[in-house]
Structure 1
Amino acid sequence: MRIAVLAYDRISPFMLSTPLAVFAEPFLAGGHQLEICAATPRLSATAGLHIEAPAALDASLLADVVILPGWRDAQEPVSPDIVAVLRAAGERGALVVGLCLGAFGLAEAGLLDGRRATTHWARAELFAARYPAIDVDPGALFIDEGPVLTSAGIAAGLDCCLHLLARLSGIGEAHRVARHLVVAPQRGGAQPQLLERPVPGTSADRRVAGLLESLRADPLEAPSLDTLAQRAGMSRRSLTRHIRAQTGGSLGDWLKRVRLARAQDLLAAGGRGLEDVAARAGFVDAQALRAAFRQELGLTPRQWLARQRLG
């Protein structure tokens, strides 16, 4: 895949590095070709840095994936040349990604009308007011609408890029890259941007984290909340609260994402028959597996597998 990352004057180096860390590091096996494209060959960046852009903005017109990593100010319109590139990418069927305030560029290009989208929580209200045709979810880490993806801030942009890598090269490759980056590969797009306690700290937190890791290792296990609460030595209500604080949702939602990741691994490894894959991943049946794919990825298992082969 040819991937174009759009750079601009006064860009955040951290935001620019987000897609580069996922798609351009030497340990990648996917073989994607990535270019940084900009209107001028030399750009200023925040913190007094300067960046040399190796490709002109027009080079992105040949890309299969176009990523806009943020924008310098939500109050400032995204430059018309970048908007034109994004609109052209959408018209030719390329995947278009807006990380953080980059969602404003996709919105200005008309690529998000009638779709769900997100952006940084601090600018979500402005985003919704400026673009009423968009169904704005101010809490999601990222949203995959098929041809367009949007994310919240810098860390969520990393989640979004890893999710996109899973679409292009398979979940196994995304997990491998996540391990190299020392980040969690399992954060789903629906997880809230703001968590009460994102890192286990107390003894109870660590016990719950241990329970979750045991379930991740064996997603076929389906103990009740009462059973898990007994294992953790706490009440069902307290366990539910701790799980929500660590995962951003219910045990059922988190376990479904874990099982979906297992199913993706099985499919990518040549698993035959959706019923068999569903059973080995912990789903009730193939219908439940299909529903999970559509809800989390917006694709059927067959469509997802076809994209892995294309990637």
Structure 2
Amino acid sequence: MPKALFSIVAGVALAVCSILSMAAQPDPILPRPSGPAPAVKFTIIKTGETPTRDALTWAGGSWSQKVMANHVAILVSHPSGRFLLDSGLGTQTGRHFDDQMPWWVKPLMRYQGFSPARAQLDARGEPAISRIVLTHGHWDHVAALHDFPEAEVWLTAGELDFVRTAKPPAVLPVQVNAPGIRWHTYALAPRRFGPFEQHLDLFGDGSAVLVPLFGHTPGSVGLVLTLSSGRQALFIGDVAWRVDGVTHQAPKPFISRRVVDHDAEATHDTVKLLHAIQQANPGLLIIPAHDAVVHDALGYYPRWVE
């Protein structure tokens, strides 16, 4: 083949491969409800905090900077009902932590400012919570399930298997083995939702949608909310502990991810996907479960974000 013709053929092949590669990339734009935005809002219920170092929360963090890792539950209000996203720390967490948390990790996970979600909600006369949706099953996200015996606890079947078989420090058996917990497993529908190949529309109107964020645990999920103002929020659980990790596409520090990430490589891939979503959706609120900087800016229960 003449050199000039070879160059043309090679160039065309490269262009075709590039186009096919771009076509294979998922659209990072998050869909919105097709009709008028329903009256959706959320509030962050802070149940405790753990002092730590920035460098222990994401790979680009500073050792000299002290930060707080919050423990929260998110109360979501929709015209068709309310639910909690995760439960935060609960009334029995202290005893469970002392009894079953391994000694070598206790200094890193000690918490302060303890204020269970159930006590805060009851103090303001809030109606009973009938559903708790878990981003994942780690101990600090399920610690208050005992405080809500009337609630169904929603998680994927894979995550329930993980919860029932994982060991401390990931899961404390005393928190999840009580016969009274009303586990409710669900499957994500195999239909695309923006960049996600699966999703579950909780109310059928596109305003509260669960999406797969696998890696940190086998069945980790996130929640996309479209608020009454039209603004969108993406709750990412523990895929990244700080929004800085998403912004810089950085994983957790080596030691941290070895201890807490079920699949560190898959978790980092999810961080990269979240970064693409962040870049493609201006104004999107990305809310990690433990990022006190993000939480402080939004405010805490009883302040609502709409």
Q: TM-score, normalised by structure 1?
A: 0.28
- Going by fraction, where is helix more abundant, 1 or 2? 1
Q: RCO (CA 8 Å, sep 6+): is it higher in 1 or 2? A: 2
- Going by fraction, where is strand more abundant, 1 or 2? 2
